[in-house]
Structure formats: C-alpha cells, structure tokens
Amino acid sequence: MLHILVVDDEPHIAYGVGQLLEERSEPDTRVWKALSVKQAITVFENNRIDLLVTDIQMPGMNGLDLVTLVQKHWRNCKVIFLTGYSDYEYLHFALQHQVAEYLLKPVEDEVLLEKIDEVITQIKASSNLETLRKNAERQLQQAKPLLIREIVASILSRESNALTQMGEQLGSLNVDMSCERPVMLMIARIDFWPERYSVKDKLLMEYAIHNILEEYLASSIQVLPSSYRKHLIWLLQSSSPDTSERKMFVLLSETLTVLQQTILDLLQLKVSFVLAPQLTEWTSLGDQYESLVSLLKKGIGMEQEIIIADENNPMEATKSHVTVADMKQSVRKIIMHLETMDTAGVKRETSLLFQKFAESVFVDYGLQLEVFCELSLSILEYVNGKNVYDELEKRVSMDVLVNYSQVDNLEAWERYCQELFPLIIDVVEQRGNDQKFLLSEKVDAYIIGNLNGDLSLTNLAKQVYLSPYYLSRLYYAERGSHLSERITALKMSKAKEYLAEGTKKIYEIALELGFENTPYFSRFFKKHTGLTPQQFKESNRVSS
C-alpha cells in the first residue's frame, strides 16, 4: 500500500491534487490532504508516508521545516515541492535533502501526474518485496552467511575453542568487527509464520530482515547477523570506538520501532526484539543470549511485536498477578460454556483468562506451562466425552494440546483456543458456520452505513480486526470482486437511487456519499454511467 500526503495552504490546490491522485492511482493507494504543516504533522505521526507533495511558503511552519520533520520520522519518504517560488535557498535545500522533484506553479495535471508516477516507480523499486527477495536469493547462494552462522553458534553454545581463531575467521570473511572490543547483543523472534511459507521462504525472509536492519544501521553500527536455534541474532559494535555504551543503546532502542514497522509493511511479518542493555565481552555472549531468551519466553502479556530495550531489568520491576486459583476458575468457566454450547461465553471467558496474563506483563514460564496443561486436559476430557476427537482432527491439529513447544507465544495459544472452541461446538452440534461469509457481510454492512466516511482498506480492516492485506484477499476470495470495486458499486447504486427520487440536490448527494465537492462527484458519476448526475436525473424525470 502506497501512502501519499499532499500539503498546501490553498484548499483548491490541496484538494485538487489529492482528488487527482485518488482518481488516477491504484486502488490500494491512500492519499491524505492537509492545509497546514500542523495538520500534516498529525497525519505523518500516525501513518507511514511514502511520498510528500508540499508547498513551501505556508503560514507558520513552512514546507522546508515539514520536509525535515517528515524525513526524520520516515527516512525513506520521497518529496516533491509544488511551489510558486524558485529562490536559490529553496533549490539548495532541495538538493541537500534529495528532493525528487521541484515543480513551479501553475503546473498542468498531466505533467504533475507524470512526475508523480516517476517518483512512485522509484519508491516501488526501492521497497518492493520482490527486490528484497532477489537480494536475499543472491545472498543465500553465497557461503558467507552460513560460515558466520557457524561462528556465532559456536560462541553462543560456549564451545571451548570458539574464540581462538575468531578474529582471523571474521577477517577472512571481510567482517569489519574487532574481537578486542565488546559488542551489544540483540535477538528477535518471528512471532507468527504464515502457513503457506516453506522452509526456503522462511530462510529468505530472515535474510531480508537482516538486510533491512543493516540498511538502517549501516552508517553508525557494524552488524554481524546470524541465527541460532529459533532466533535471529545480531552482534552490534559501534563504528567508532569513541561512541559511549549509553549513546549506542539509545540509538538502537529508537531504531527498533521503525525497523519493526518497516518489516511489517514490506514483509507482512510481526517480529519481537530484545536488546541487551549493555555491551558484553565476546566470552560472555552465551550467558547474555540465555538471559535475553528468558525474557522472550516469559513474554510481555499477550502481545506480539514485543520490544524490550530497557536499562533496568523488567523482570525485577514487575511481578505476575496470575494465581493458580484464578487460572483454574477461568478454565472451569470455559468448560461450563462449552457444555452449554455458548460460543460467546466461551470466547469471553477465554479472553478473560489470557487478559489476566496481559495485565501481569511478565508471566513466569512455569505458570504458562501449568495453564497450558490444565486447559489442554480439560479440553481433551470434554472432546473425548463427546466422542468427537476424530472429526475435530480432520479440521484442526489436536497435537498442539499435548506439545507446548508448538506454541510460539501466549497470543498464539489464545488464538488457537479461540479458533478451536467454535470448531468443537460446530462439530458437536453438527452444523457449520461460514466465518468468511459473515465477515464479508459485516464489511458490506459497514460500507453501506458509512458511505460518506473513511472507507479506506486500512479503516475497514480495523472494523473487523484484520490486517489490510488479509482482509483484501479474504474479501476477494469470498465476493469475487475487490473492495474498491464494491465501494464504487454501492456508491453508484445509492447515487442513482437519490437522483431517481429527486428529493436531494446534487451537492447534497455528493456530500452524502463522501465526495468533497460536486465537480469530483460529477466526474466520478459520468465515468461509470456515461451521464452527468444532472443528465441522469433528467432522464429519469422524462421516463417517469
């Protein structure tokens, strides 16, 4: 999904350019319009921006200041200046900040669109997943990553001779890190792998994540990427020996959130990070690794995409509030609702059970295991009592109930339970429940009730608690049409209805259907019917 922000203090330019882009862009393009830098700040602080189209001379903060702020927030954002001034100072700024285009007003629509298309092509070329996959493929064919993995594995597993020739080995691989200086250790976990991913796909995605991190840190941090057991590993060393431990820690901490969002945007993967709070000697990396793993294993409540980067030990600051009595009482309530076939009750009690873990922040692994065993045993007793185990096994893996190591984290365990319980009820009652159909019905109902509201893919996904990417695929598979096509069809249907009734003025209909002005509505209507709204209205009057 491409995100574009248009900023100009003249409304007819901001909205005009915005509407032009919405009309000519691909369905998954999101366009924001702002009439001031203040409005623009609100947008880019809450949304990723890939392309900024902005005026320079504006009341208050100007476009130059805006570009500086946006590029601090979204370092890969491209910029197009659309201004009436050609001062040397502005041109010099544009060169310094790698502004993609500098266009002088007035500019023809086709010229503007041509320049914007060129910049969008650059954006896609630099961030396209296929590019990342090809880079990962090339790296995969080389021996260097595998050799580094062996070196790191020997260090973390505390092999006796691991450090003996490490300096020489790293040098032969052109790894610019000093074995005489300590390093900062960071580990990561892929919270959830899509089922369709093969072993090769997973390996390629791991390499892509390494590439993304190295791109962000290349200017100031030396990175030695690897993987060990189930985790991605990075040994990090400042490029300058004079950089303090504190400065290095702060830099890495502030980079993690952006890194996490980039991985989600480009690779559609949720990743949790744990960063060691201090530099570590190479000889102590094995102990440091086990310490970081224990933090991930305990988790932070129910959340995926964890970031632990704190100079204090969070384990000492927060104690678990969950007790054995709480857990057993919650399990009894879940089974009681299963017995009465109360799907809503089961869902509610399951959510409450896992919410107790979320409120406790750090949850002891032993207590996690006890909850797992208690709940799994109760589920198996119920399923066997109803003699539906074999039928359930055809629809869902029941092996998870006897192997906690198959559960990536607490959220994955809750997700499994929330999926399993309705299936149990379905099988026991001998009925089906098409969840995809109900979901698409819910999306359609929301669209119909909010034709003048925010119908972006992002907002629709929020209404049904799915990712935009997954909702788009699910809706197309269920309905046979894209969401954008469905929205257009519903708006056109409602527009024709209003025009046929003849009780509303055309500008009122435009506002009712979410169009910012009548000309844009007229162009939209004519594009899909061949008639302007007025012509359509008159033709209905004649026929009646």
At residue 129, the pLDDT reads 63
Torsion angle of the four alpha carbons 464, 466, 470, 474, in this order, in degrees rounded to the nearest 10: -20
What is the rounded average pLDDT of the residues 510-522? Answer: 90
Q: How confident is the model at residue 532 (pLDDT cuts 50, 70, 90)?
A: very high
Residues 2-50 have pLDDT tens digits of: 899 999 999 999 999 999 888 877 777 899 999 999 999 999 999 989 8
- 78 φ, ψ to 5°? -85, 155
More confident call, 54 vs 431: 54
Asked if residues 5 and 43 have their Cβ atoms less than 8 Å apart, the reply is: yes
| Separation of alpha carbons 362 and 306, rounded Å | 12
Asked if residues 112 and 103 have their Cβ atoms less than 8 Å apart, the reply is: yes
Asked if residues 327 and 371 have their Cβ atoms less than 8 Å apart, the reply is: yes
Residues 341-371 have pLDDT tens digits of: 788 988 998 888 887 766 654 556 677 777 7
The closest alpha carbon to 334, from 404, 418, 408, belongs to: 418
Residues with Cβ within 8 Å of residue 82, at least 6 apart in sequence = 8, 13, 17, 53, 54, 55, 103, 105, 107, 112
Residues 263-319 have pLDDT tens digits of: 988 998 988 888 888 899 998 999 899 888 877 765 543 345 566 654 444 444 444
| Separation of alpha carbons 281 and 225, rounded Å | 17
At residue 311, the pLDDT reads 45
Residues with Cβ within 8 Å of residue 291, at least 6 apart in sequence = 276
Measured between alpha carbons, how far is residue 53 from residues 99, 122, 308, 363 in Å?
10, 15, 36, 47
At residue 319, the pLDDT reads 46
Pairing of strands 221-228, 78-83: unpaired
In a 13 Å sphere around the CA of 402, the CA atoms on its Cβ side amount to 5
Share of the chain above pLDDT 70, in %: 86
At residue 360, the pLDDT reads 56
Q: 209 by DSSP, 3-state: which?
A: helix
524 DSSP assignment: H
Residues 199-237 have pLDDT tens digits of: 888 888 998 999 999 888 877 888 999 999 889 999 999
Element holding 51 (H helix, E strand): strand 51-54
| Separation of alpha carbons 200 and 136, rounded Å | 11
At residue 255, the pLDDT reads 84
Distance of alpha carbon 83 from the chain centroid: 34
Q: Which residues of 402-419 are buried (b: 16+ CB within 10 A; e: fewer)?
A: eeeeebbbbbbbbbbbee
At residue 32, the pLDDT reads 92
Residues 180-195 have pLDDT tens digits of: 889 999 999 888 788 8
| Separation of alpha carbons 421 and 88, rounded Å | 67
Element holding 489 (H helix, E strand): helix 483-501
Query: Sign of torsion, CA 238 243 245 249?
Result: negative
Element holding 197 (H helix, E strand): none
Residue in the block written with tokens 């260097």: 144
Torsion angle of the four alpha carbons 394, 395, 399, 400, in this order, in degrees rounded to the nearest 10: 180
Residues 459-514 have pLDDT tens digits of: 999 998 888 888 898 888 877 889 999 899 889 888 988 888 888 899 999 998 99
**Structure-token pair, residue 215:** 């791109």
Residue 538 has pLDDT above 50, yes or no: yes
Residue 105 has pLDDT above 70, yes or no: yes
What is the rounded average pLDDT of the residues 234-242? Answer: 88
Asked if residues 271 and 250 have their Cβ atoms less than 8 Å apart, the reply is: no
- Identify any residues that bridge with 185 across adjacent strands, giving them in sequence order: 235
At residue 455, the pLDDT reads 92
Sheet holding 101-104, edge to edge: 30-34, 3-7, 51-54, 78-83, 101-104
| Separation of alpha carbons 532 and 63, rounded Å | 38
Please give the span between the terminal C-alpha atoms of the chain, in angstroms, as a whole number. Answer: 45
Residue 51 has pLDDT above 50, yes or no: yes
- Identify any residues that bridge with 81 across adjacent strands, giving them in sequence order: 54, 102
Helix 365-386 / helix 343-360 crossing angle, nearest 10 deg:
170
| Separation of alpha carbons 478 and 439, rounded Å | 9
Q: How confident is the model at residue 397 (pLDDT cuts 50, 70, 90)?
A: confident
- Identify any residues that bridge with 238 across adjacent strands, giving them in sequence order: 221
Torsion angle of the four alpha carbons 253, 259, 261, 265, in this order, in degrees rounded to the nearest 10: 180
At residue 36, the pLDDT reads 92
Mean pLDDT of the chain: 82
At residue 104, the pLDDT reads 87
Asked if residues 256 and 239 have their Cβ atoms less than 8 Å apart, the reply is: no
At residue 13, the pLDDT reads 92
